Amino acid sequence: MATSPKMPSPADLKAIFGLEPENAVEYMKSKGYAITWNWQEMLDQAHDQAFTVAKAMRLDLLSDIRGALETALQDGQTLKQFTKALQPVLETQGWWGKQVIVDSSGGAEMVQLGSPRRLKTIYQTNLQSAYMAGRKASMEETADTHPYWRYVAILDGMTRPSHRALSGKVYRHDDPVWSSIYPPNGFSCRCRITSLTEAALTRRGFTVDSSEGRMQTRTVEIGADKRTGEIRTAQVTSLRTTDSEGRVAVFSTDPGFNHAPGAGLAEALKRKQAASAPQEQ
């Protein structure tokens, strides 16, 4: 079994992709807020519209956490720096350690609030999604000249086998596959997408695949609500492909990651730029 990989810091991501954080920060700032008790209550595309942290039941608390994430993006903070800045704020807010919390329906439950482990998950998941959303927006803007997108995994002992099998595969930017498999495809996913021109595709000897007839979306169970017993479900997309040795392999997104982050961000950025452009007299 693969061990949990180390998540790249914002500085690492910037070095990998050659990115400034503006698009990523814009993605973060464009969201509203949502109060949720369990992570299963908000999945997939819903994360593009609203920022949430499970069991953070006040808007001022969510605002503090998102503000810390925006600072981490803008300043390239490491996880250690992010935690050092945010932990005292959460402790002052009373959102730290294990506590009995009353949910919106009046039920009381002993829950884990803030902790170093939770801050790591919040940092990793939100920053990776924000950078990928910003990256995707930039790629969409250059799709006319770079119409081919290539899935790239970090190939080491910590890589998920299905992500390894998909590494190196090229699909057109408008192939439906990207609506589901654009990274991150799960917690601590380190995969990324690069774009190619027609000339680069030919020069490097890559072939273009198609997802037609190879994709399947199914509903899976993701746990039961401890309070109500309700079984929670999520959609998961699978893609049948072949690995580097020609063996059939199946790539699947993790529950909650069955979408491309930042859908519509490129168009939103264009509208913002047009609105702020000086008008001719």
User: For strand 170-172 and strand 148-152, is the pairing parallel, antiparallel, or unpaired?
Assistant: antiparallel
Examine the pLDDT at 88 and tell me if it is beyond 50: yes
- Nearest-angstrom CA–CA distance, 231 and 222: 7
Q: What is the pLDDT of residues 108-124, one digit of tens each?
A: 788 889 999 999 999 98
**For 201-210, what is the mean pLDDT?**
96
Task: Confirm if 95 and 111 have CB atoms less than 8 A apart.
Answer: no
- Residue 165 CB-half CA count within 13 A: 17
pLDDT reported for residue 8: 54
**For 71-79, what is the mean pLDDT?**
89
Higher pLDDT, 37 or 252: 252
Task: Confirm if 101 and 86 have CB atoms less than 8 A apart.
Answer: no
pLDDT reported for residue 278: 66
User: For strand 170-172 and strand 208-209, is the pairing parallel, antiparallel, or unpaired?
Assistant: parallel
Residue 8 is classified by DSSP as P
**For 199-222, what is the mean pLDDT?**
94
**For 204-216, what is the mean pLDDT?**
95
Describe the crossing of helices 116-141 and 79-93 by its angle, rounded to 10 degrees. 120
**For 169-198, what is the mean pLDDT?**
93
The DSSP code sequence of 86-119 is HHHHHHHHT--SEEEEE-TTS-EEEEE-S-HHHH
pLDDT reported for residue 219: 94
Q: What is the mean pLDDT of the chain?
A: 85
Q: Which of 59-63, 103-107, 237-241, 256-260 has the lowest mean pLDDT?
A: 103-107
- Nearest-angstrom CA–CA distance, 150 and 137: 15
pLDDT reported for residue 57: 87
Q: What is the pLDDT of residues 7-19, one digit of tens each?
A: 555 555 554 444 5
- Residue 112 CB-half CA count within 13 A: 5
Which range has highest mean pLDDT (8-22, 35-49, 79-93, 215-229)?
Answer: 79-93
Phi and psi at 203, nearest 5°, equal: -60, -40
Task: Confirm if 179 and 260 have CB atoms less than 8 A apart.
Answer: yes
Assign 76 a pLDDT band (cuts: 50, 70, 90): confident
H/E run at residue 14: helix 10-17
Examine the pLDDT at 2 and tell me if it is beyond 50: no
- Nearest-angstrom CA–CA distance, 36 and 119: 17
The fraction of the chain above a pLDDT of 90, given in percent, is: 43
Please give the model's pTM, rounded to 2 decimal places: 0.82
